[in-house]
Structure 1
Amino acid sequence: MKEIQKYTISISSLEDKTYEFDFESGDAFFEAMDQELIQHGSFKTHLVLTKSSSMIQLNFHIWGTLGLVCDRSLEPFDEPMDIREQLFLKFSDRVEELTDEIELILWDTQQINIARYLFDFIVLSLPMKKLHPRFRQEETDDDEEQEGKVVYRSEPAGPDDETAEPPVDPRWEALRKLNNN
Protein backbone atom coordinates (compact mmCIF):
# COMPACT_ATOMS: atom_id res chain seq x y z
CA MET A 1 0.00 0.00 0.00
CA LYS A 2 2.91 2.30 0.74
CA GLU A 3 4.18 1.78 -2.80
CA ILE A 4 0.86 2.89 -4.29
CA GLN A 5 0.82 6.04 -2.15
CA LYS A 6 3.84 7.36 -4.08
CA TYR A 7 1.50 7.96 -7.02
CA THR A 8 -0.92 10.19 -5.12
CA ILE A 9 -1.15 13.82 -6.25
CA SER A 10 -2.88 16.41 -4.10
CA ILE A 11 -5.00 18.43 -6.53
CA SER A 12 -6.83 20.61 -4.01
CA SER A 13 -3.76 22.79 -3.45
CA LEU A 14 -2.91 23.17 -7.14
CA GLU A 15 -3.59 26.41 -8.98
CA ASP A 16 -5.07 26.44 -12.49
CA LYS A 17 -1.90 25.90 -14.52
CA THR A 18 0.44 23.17 -15.84
CA TYR A 19 2.58 20.95 -13.58
CA GLU A 20 5.11 18.23 -14.35
CA PHE A 21 5.77 15.10 -12.28
CA ASP A 22 8.31 12.31 -12.70
CA PHE A 23 8.02 8.81 -11.22
CA GLU A 24 10.36 5.80 -11.22
CA SER A 25 8.85 2.37 -10.72
CA GLY A 26 10.11 -1.19 -10.40
CA ASP A 27 9.09 -4.65 -9.27
CA ALA A 28 7.48 -3.26 -6.10
CA PHE A 29 4.90 -1.45 -8.25
CA PHE A 30 3.75 -4.68 -9.92
CA GLU A 31 3.70 -6.54 -6.58
CA ALA A 32 1.57 -3.80 -5.01
CA MET A 33 -0.96 -3.98 -7.85
CA ASP A 34 -1.92 -7.51 -6.71
CA GLN A 35 -1.86 -9.16 -10.14
CA GLU A 36 -0.02 -12.04 -11.83
CA LEU A 37 0.32 -10.78 -15.40
CA ILE A 38 3.61 -8.89 -14.90
CA GLN A 39 6.07 -9.90 -12.19
CA HIS A 40 9.11 -7.85 -13.15
CA GLY A 41 9.80 -4.56 -14.79
CA SER A 42 11.16 -1.09 -14.42
CA PHE A 43 9.82 2.05 -15.99
CA LYS A 44 9.78 5.82 -15.74
CA THR A 45 6.79 8.08 -16.07
CA HIS A 46 6.69 11.73 -17.04
CA LEU A 47 3.30 13.25 -16.28
CA VAL A 48 2.14 16.66 -17.47
CA LEU A 49 -0.90 17.73 -15.44
CA THR A 50 -2.89 20.73 -16.58
CA LYS A 51 -5.51 21.92 -14.12
CA SER A 52 -8.37 24.24 -15.01
CA SER A 53 -11.53 25.25 -13.18
CA SER A 54 -13.60 22.47 -14.80
CA MET A 55 -11.16 19.62 -15.44
CA ILE A 56 -7.69 18.10 -15.15
CA GLN A 57 -5.82 16.99 -18.25
CA LEU A 58 -3.19 14.26 -17.72
CA ASN A 59 -0.58 13.51 -20.40
CA PHE A 60 1.44 10.37 -19.66
CA HIS A 61 4.75 9.28 -21.16
CA ILE A 62 5.75 5.85 -19.83
CA TRP A 63 8.91 4.06 -20.95
CA GLY A 64 11.01 1.15 -19.71
CA THR A 65 11.15 -2.64 -19.88
CA LEU A 66 8.82 -5.36 -18.67
CA GLY A 67 9.77 -8.90 -17.70
CA LEU A 68 7.41 -11.20 -19.59
CA VAL A 69 7.22 -14.95 -20.16
CA CYS A 70 7.18 -16.32 -23.71
CA ASP A 71 3.93 -18.05 -24.64
CA ARG A 72 5.79 -20.56 -26.81
CA SER A 73 8.90 -21.50 -24.80
CA LEU A 74 7.99 -20.23 -21.29
CA GLU A 75 11.34 -18.42 -21.20
CA PRO A 76 11.49 -15.02 -19.52
CA PHE A 77 12.44 -12.05 -21.70
CA ASP A 78 12.50 -8.25 -21.51
CA GLU A 79 9.93 -6.35 -23.56
CA PRO A 80 10.62 -2.64 -24.18
CA MET A 81 7.71 -0.21 -23.92
CA ASP A 82 7.16 3.41 -24.84
CA ILE A 83 3.61 4.60 -24.17
CA ARG A 84 1.96 7.99 -24.62
CA GLU A 85 -1.59 8.40 -23.32
CA GLN A 86 -3.94 11.21 -22.43
CA LEU A 87 -6.70 11.29 -19.82
CA PHE A 88 -9.26 13.92 -18.83
CA LEU A 89 -10.74 14.12 -15.34
CA LYS A 90 -13.78 16.39 -15.42
CA PHE A 91 -15.24 17.80 -12.24
CA SER A 92 -18.85 16.77 -11.66
CA ASP A 93 -21.50 15.95 -9.07
CA ARG A 94 -20.94 12.21 -9.56
CA VAL A 95 -18.14 9.73 -10.25
CA GLU A 96 -18.35 7.96 -13.58
CA GLU A 97 -16.12 6.67 -16.37
CA LEU A 98 -17.57 8.12 -19.58
CA THR A 99 -15.00 6.76 -22.04
CA ASP A 100 -11.50 5.30 -21.89
CA GLU A 101 -10.12 8.85 -21.94
CA ILE A 102 -12.72 10.78 -19.90
CA GLU A 103 -13.72 10.27 -16.27
CA LEU A 104 -15.93 12.33 -14.01
CA ILE A 105 -14.68 13.10 -10.49
CA LEU A 106 -16.36 14.94 -7.64
CA TRP A 107 -15.91 18.71 -7.28
CA ASP A 108 -14.47 18.27 -3.78
CA THR A 109 -11.88 15.62 -4.74
CA GLN A 110 -8.74 16.37 -2.74
CA GLN A 111 -6.27 14.00 -4.42
CA ILE A 112 -5.91 11.54 -7.28
CA ASN A 113 -3.83 8.39 -7.46
CA ILE A 114 -2.44 7.62 -10.91
CA ALA A 115 -1.14 4.08 -10.15
CA ARG A 116 -4.24 2.40 -11.61
CA TYR A 117 -3.96 4.48 -14.79
CA LEU A 118 -0.29 3.59 -15.20
CA PHE A 119 -0.97 -0.11 -14.74
CA ASP A 120 -3.92 -0.05 -17.16
CA PHE A 121 -1.87 1.72 -19.85
CA ILE A 122 0.97 -0.78 -19.44
CA VAL A 123 -1.29 -3.84 -19.59
CA LEU A 124 -3.11 -2.52 -22.66
CA SER A 125 0.23 -2.05 -24.43
CA LEU A 126 1.24 -5.69 -23.98
CA PRO A 127 1.27 -7.79 -27.16
CA MET A 128 -1.55 -10.33 -27.47
CA LYS A 129 0.99 -13.02 -28.29
CA LYS A 130 4.03 -12.72 -26.02
CA LEU A 131 6.91 -14.14 -28.06
CA HIS A 132 10.57 -14.17 -27.13
CA PRO A 133 12.47 -11.93 -29.61
CA ARG A 134 14.22 -14.96 -31.16
CA PHE A 135 10.84 -16.38 -32.26
CA ARG A 136 9.52 -13.15 -33.76
CA GLN A 137 11.52 -13.39 -37.01
CA GLU A 138 10.42 -17.00 -37.44
CA GLU A 139 6.81 -15.93 -36.94
CA THR A 140 6.97 -13.25 -39.66
CA ASP A 141 8.80 -15.65 -42.02
CA ASP A 142 6.07 -18.28 -41.52
CA ASP A 143 3.37 -15.70 -42.27
CA GLU A 144 5.10 -14.69 -45.52
CA GLU A 145 5.50 -18.34 -46.62
CA GLN A 146 1.80 -19.03 -46.01
CA GLU A 147 0.78 -16.21 -48.34
CA GLY A 148 -0.32 -17.57 -51.70
CA LYS A 149 -0.71 -21.20 -50.56
CA VAL A 150 -4.08 -22.87 -50.88
CA VAL A 151 -4.94 -24.45 -47.57
CA TYR A 152 -8.37 -25.86 -48.45
CA ARG A 153 -10.15 -26.44 -51.72
CA SER A 154 -13.75 -27.60 -51.87
CA GLU A 155 -13.67 -29.21 -55.33
CA PRO A 156 -10.92 -31.01 -57.23
CA ALA A 157 -9.21 -29.06 -59.98
CA GLY A 158 -9.09 -30.34 -63.53
CA PRO A 159 -5.82 -31.98 -64.60
CA ASP A 160 -4.77 -29.27 -67.05
CA ASP A 161 -7.58 -26.79 -67.39
CA GLU A 162 -8.56 -24.55 -64.49
CA THR A 163 -11.91 -23.82 -66.16
CA ALA A 164 -12.83 -27.49 -66.66
CA GLU A 165 -16.32 -28.27 -65.43
CA PRO A 166 -16.65 -30.77 -62.61
CA PRO A 167 -18.28 -34.10 -63.50
CA VAL A 168 -22.08 -34.00 -63.54
CA ASP A 169 -24.14 -36.35 -61.39
CA PRO A 170 -25.74 -38.95 -63.74
CA ARG A 171 -29.21 -38.29 -62.29
CA TRP A 172 -29.01 -34.64 -63.36
CA GLU A 173 -27.71 -35.69 -66.75
CA ALA A 174 -30.81 -37.87 -67.24
CA LEU A 175 -33.08 -34.96 -66.28
CA ARG A 176 -31.29 -32.66 -68.67
CA LYS A 177 -31.92 -35.12 -71.54
CA LEU A 178 -35.64 -35.09 -70.69
CA ASN A 179 -35.67 -31.31 -70.75
CA ASN A 180 -34.00 -31.17 -74.16
CA ASN A 181 -36.75 -33.30 -75.77
Structure 2
Amino acid sequence: MKDLKEFDISFIGLKDGNHQFEYIIEKKFFDFFNYDEFYNSNIKVVLSFLKNATMLELNFAYSGWVEVTCDVTNELFQQPVETSFNLIVKFGDEYNDENEELLIIPYRDYKFNVAQYIYETIVLAIPLKRVHPGVNDGTLHSEVLEKLKELQIKDQKEEEQKKEIDPRWNKLKNILIDKNTSNGTS
Protein backbone atom coordinates (compact mmCIF):
# COMPACT_ATOMS: atom_id res chain seq x y z
CA MET A 1 0.00 0.00 0.00
CA LYS A 2 2.66 2.48 -0.96
CA ASP A 3 0.10 5.00 -2.25
CA LEU A 4 -1.66 5.05 1.13
CA LYS A 5 1.38 5.73 3.33
CA GLU A 6 -0.49 8.48 5.15
CA PHE A 7 -2.60 5.70 6.74
CA ASP A 8 0.45 3.96 8.20
CA ILE A 9 0.67 4.13 11.97
CA SER A 10 4.21 3.73 13.29
CA PHE A 11 3.54 2.70 16.86
CA ILE A 12 7.12 1.83 17.82
CA GLY A 13 8.08 5.49 18.42
CA LEU A 14 4.88 6.46 20.23
CA LYS A 15 4.71 6.72 24.01
CA ASP A 16 2.18 4.65 25.93
CA GLY A 17 -1.16 6.46 26.24
CA ASN A 18 -3.73 8.12 24.00
CA HIS A 19 -2.96 9.51 20.57
CA GLN A 20 -5.29 10.92 17.94
CA PHE A 21 -5.12 10.85 14.15
CA GLU A 22 -7.50 12.53 11.68
CA TYR A 23 -8.13 11.68 8.05
CA ILE A 24 -10.28 13.29 5.37
CA ILE A 25 -11.59 10.65 2.96
CA GLU A 26 -12.31 11.86 -0.56
CA LYS A 27 -13.05 10.26 -3.94
CA LYS A 28 -9.38 9.46 -4.70
CA PHE A 29 -9.26 7.18 -1.64
CA PHE A 30 -12.00 4.96 -3.12
CA ASP A 31 -10.36 5.12 -6.56
CA PHE A 32 -7.32 3.40 -5.06
CA PHE A 33 -9.56 0.45 -4.11
CA ASN A 34 -11.25 0.52 -7.57
CA TYR A 35 -14.61 1.24 -5.91
CA ASP A 36 -16.73 3.27 -8.32
CA GLU A 37 -20.14 3.45 -6.59
CA PHE A 38 -19.29 6.76 -4.89
CA TYR A 39 -19.16 9.82 -7.14
CA ASN A 40 -17.73 12.06 -4.46
CA SER A 41 -17.14 11.95 -0.72
CA ASN A 42 -16.17 14.01 2.26
CA ILE A 43 -15.78 11.94 5.39
CA LYS A 44 -13.81 12.90 8.46
CA VAL A 45 -12.31 9.94 10.29
CA VAL A 46 -11.07 10.51 13.83
CA LEU A 47 -8.88 7.69 15.11
CA SER A 48 -8.32 7.48 18.86
CA PHE A 49 -5.28 5.31 19.41
CA LEU A 50 -4.47 3.89 22.86
CA LYS A 51 -1.04 2.31 23.11
CA ASN A 52 -0.28 -0.16 25.90
CA ALA A 53 2.76 -2.36 26.36
CA THR A 54 0.88 -5.50 25.26
CA MET A 55 -1.76 -4.22 22.83
CA LEU A 56 -3.15 -1.30 20.87
CA GLU A 57 -6.77 -0.11 20.94
CA LEU A 58 -8.12 1.79 17.95
CA ASN A 59 -11.48 3.58 17.94
CA PHE A 60 -12.56 4.98 14.58
CA ALA A 61 -15.34 7.62 14.39
CA TYR A 62 -16.72 8.52 10.96
CA SER A 63 -18.85 11.53 10.01
CA GLY A 64 -19.59 13.00 6.60
CA TRP A 65 -21.24 11.98 3.35
CA VAL A 66 -20.77 10.09 0.11
CA GLU A 67 -22.44 11.00 -3.16
CA VAL A 68 -24.37 8.08 -4.62
CA THR A 69 -27.20 7.53 -7.10
CA CYS A 70 -30.74 6.97 -5.92
CA ASP A 71 -31.99 3.46 -6.67
CA VAL A 72 -35.46 4.81 -7.47
CA THR A 73 -34.82 7.92 -9.58
CA ASN A 74 -31.13 7.61 -10.53
CA GLU A 75 -30.55 11.15 -9.16
CA LEU A 76 -27.28 11.91 -7.33
CA PHE A 77 -27.54 12.76 -3.64
CA GLN A 78 -25.34 12.93 -0.56
CA GLN A 79 -25.83 9.89 1.68
CA PRO A 80 -24.84 10.73 5.28
CA VAL A 81 -22.21 8.53 6.94
CA GLU A 82 -22.18 8.38 10.76
CA THR A 83 -20.61 5.25 12.20
CA SER A 84 -17.81 3.93 14.37
CA PHE A 85 -15.52 0.92 14.52
CA ASN A 86 -13.30 -0.53 17.25
CA LEU A 87 -10.19 -2.62 16.62
CA ILE A 88 -7.79 -4.26 19.04
CA VAL A 89 -4.27 -5.01 17.84
CA LYS A 90 -2.25 -7.65 19.68
CA PHE A 91 1.19 -9.07 19.03
CA GLY A 92 1.83 -12.70 18.14
CA ASP A 93 4.06 -15.06 16.18
CA GLU A 94 2.36 -14.46 12.82
CA TYR A 95 -0.09 -12.10 11.14
CA ASN A 96 -3.78 -13.00 11.66
CA ASP A 97 -6.81 -10.90 10.68
CA GLU A 98 -9.50 -13.62 10.74
CA ASN A 99 -11.47 -11.85 13.49
CA GLU A 100 -12.90 -8.53 12.30
CA GLU A 101 -12.35 -6.79 15.65
CA LEU A 102 -8.97 -8.30 16.51
CA LEU A 103 -5.77 -8.01 14.50
CA ILE A 104 -2.67 -9.97 15.45
CA ILE A 105 0.59 -8.69 14.02
CA PRO A 106 4.08 -10.19 14.37
CA TYR A 107 6.31 -8.98 17.21
CA ARG A 108 8.87 -7.67 14.71
CA ASP A 109 6.40 -5.23 13.05
CA TYR A 110 6.71 -1.56 13.93
CA LYS A 111 3.79 -0.16 11.89
CA PHE A 112 0.52 -1.14 10.23
CA ASN A 113 -1.85 0.47 7.76
CA VAL A 114 -5.48 1.32 8.67
CA ALA A 115 -6.68 2.20 5.13
CA GLN A 116 -8.40 -1.16 4.56
CA TYR A 117 -10.36 -0.84 7.82
CA ILE A 118 -11.45 2.70 6.94
CA TYR A 119 -12.53 1.63 3.45
CA GLU A 120 -14.51 -1.42 4.60
CA THR A 121 -16.30 0.43 7.39
CA ILE A 122 -17.46 3.23 5.09
CA VAL A 123 -18.67 0.86 2.37
CA LEU A 124 -20.56 -1.28 4.90
CA ALA A 125 -22.13 1.81 6.52
CA ILE A 126 -24.01 2.71 3.34
CA PRO A 127 -27.52 1.20 3.10
CA LEU A 128 -28.11 -1.45 0.45
CA LYS A 129 -31.12 0.45 -0.91
CA ARG A 130 -30.20 4.07 -1.52
CA VAL A 131 -33.22 6.34 -1.71
CA HIS A 132 -33.00 10.10 -2.21
CA PRO A 133 -34.50 11.86 0.84
CA GLY A 134 -36.69 13.91 -1.52
CA VAL A 135 -38.47 10.73 -2.64
CA ASN A 136 -39.65 9.96 0.89
CA ASP A 137 -40.74 13.47 1.83
CA GLY A 138 -42.15 14.37 -1.61
CA THR A 139 -39.85 17.32 -2.32
CA LEU A 140 -37.97 15.74 -5.23
CA HIS A 141 -39.40 16.51 -8.64
CA SER A 142 -38.04 14.42 -11.48
CA GLU A 143 -39.38 12.92 -14.68
CA VAL A 144 -38.56 9.41 -13.51
CA LEU A 145 -40.50 9.85 -10.27
CA GLU A 146 -43.53 11.28 -12.11
CA LYS A 147 -43.51 8.35 -14.53
CA LEU A 148 -43.27 5.86 -11.64
CA LYS A 149 -46.28 7.47 -9.95
CA GLU A 150 -48.17 7.29 -13.22
CA LEU A 151 -47.42 3.57 -13.62
CA GLN A 152 -48.05 2.70 -9.98
CA ILE A 153 -50.55 -0.10 -9.36
CA LYS A 154 -53.66 1.31 -7.81
CA ASP A 155 -55.29 -0.35 -4.80
CA GLN A 156 -58.37 -2.31 -5.92
CA LYS A 157 -60.56 -1.09 -3.06
CA GLU A 158 -59.56 2.47 -3.79
CA GLU A 159 -60.61 2.02 -7.41
CA GLU A 160 -63.97 0.54 -6.40
CA GLN A 161 -64.71 3.48 -4.13
CA LYS A 162 -63.96 5.91 -6.92
CA LYS A 163 -66.43 4.26 -9.28
CA GLU A 164 -70.07 5.27 -8.95
CA ILE A 165 -72.13 2.17 -8.11
CA ASP A 166 -75.51 1.79 -9.78
CA PRO A 167 -78.15 2.00 -6.99
CA ARG A 168 -79.91 -1.09 -8.38
CA TRP A 169 -76.91 -3.22 -7.36
CA ASN A 170 -77.17 -1.97 -3.78
CA LYS A 171 -80.74 -3.33 -3.60
CA LEU A 172 -79.47 -6.77 -4.73
CA LYS A 173 -76.81 -6.72 -1.99
CA ASN A 174 -79.55 -6.16 0.59
CA ILE A 175 -81.38 -9.28 -0.64
CA LEU A 176 -78.26 -11.41 -0.12
CA ILE A 177 -77.78 -10.00 3.37
CA ASP A 178 -81.42 -10.72 4.30
CA LYS A 179 -81.07 -14.33 3.10
CA ASN A 180 -77.94 -14.89 5.22
CA THR A 181 -79.58 -13.56 8.38
CA SER A 182 -82.70 -15.77 8.17
CA ASN A 183 -83.05 -18.98 10.22
CA GLY A 184 -82.27 -21.14 7.27
CA THR A 185 -85.94 -21.37 6.20
CA SER A 186 -86.95 -20.02 2.86
Q: Structure 1-normalised TM-score? A: 0.71
CA contact (8 A) 1:92 1:104 kept: yes
Q: Distance in 1 between matches of 2:81 and 2:6?
A: 22
Partner SS for 1:6: helix
Q: CA deviation at 1:45?
A: 1.2
User: Which amino acid is the alignment partner of residue 49 of structure 1?
Assistant: F
Partner SS for 2:120: helix
Q: CA deviation at 1:111?
A: 1.1
Residue matched to 2:184 = none
Q: CA deviation at 1:98?
A: 3.9
Q: CA deviation at 1:103?
A: 1.5
Q: Distance in 1 between matches of 2:118 and 2:41?
A: 13
Structure 2 unmatched runs, 5+: 139-154, 156-175, 178-186
Q: CA deviation at 1:25?
A: 2.2
Q: How does 1:49-64 map to 2 (within 5 A)?
A: 49-64=49-64
Residue matched to 1:90 = 90
Percent identity over paired residues? 27
Q: Distance in 1 between matches of 2:56 and 2:117?
A: 14
Q: Distance in 2 between matches of 1:44 and 1:133?
A: 22
Residue matched to 1:18 = 18
Q: Cα–Cα, structure 1 residues 12 and 79, in superposed 2: closer, same or farther, change >3 Å? A: same
Q: CA deviation at 1:61?
A: 0.8
Q: How does 1:145-164 map to 2 (within 5 A)?
A: none
Q: Cα–Cα, structure 1 residues 93 and 136, in superposed 2: closer, same or farther, change >3 Å? A: farther
Q: Distance in 1 between matches of 2:52 and 2:136?
A: 45
Partner SS for 1:96: coil
Q: How does 1:85-164 map to 2 (within 5 A)?
A: 85-137=85-137
Residue matched to 2:67 = 67
Q: Distance in 2 between matches of 1:28 and 1:36?
A: 10
Q: Once superposed, which parts of structure 1, at least 4 consecutive aligned residues long, lie more than 6 Å away?
A: none
Q: CA deviation at 1:85?
A: 1.4
Partner SS for 1:34: coil
Q: Cα–Cα, structure 1 residues 137 and 99, in superposed 2: closer, same or farther, change >3 Å? A: farther
Q: Distance in 2 between matches of 1:126 and 1:3?
A: 25
Residue matched to 2:142 = none
CA contact (8 A) 1:93 1:106 kept: yes
CA contact (8 A) 1:3 1:28 kept: no
CA contact (8 A) 1:31 1:39 kept: no
Q: CA deviation at 1:3?
A: 4.9
Q: Structure 2-normalised TM-score? A: 0.69
Q: Cα–Cα, structure 1 residues 67 and 20, in superposed 2: closer, same or farther, change >3 Å? A: same
User: Which amino acid is the alignment partner of residue 118 of structure 1?
Assistant: I
User: Which amino acid is the alignment partner of residue 79 of structure 1?
Assistant: Q
Structure 1 unmatched runs, 5+: 139-145, 147-158, 161-181
Q: Distance in 1 between matches of 2:7 and 2:68?
A: 24
Deviations 1:105-124 (A, max 9, x none): 11111211111111111011
Q: RMSD value over aligned CA atoms?
A: 2.1
Residue matched to 1:39 = 39
Deviations 1:80-111 (A, max 9, x none): 11112111111111111242211211111121
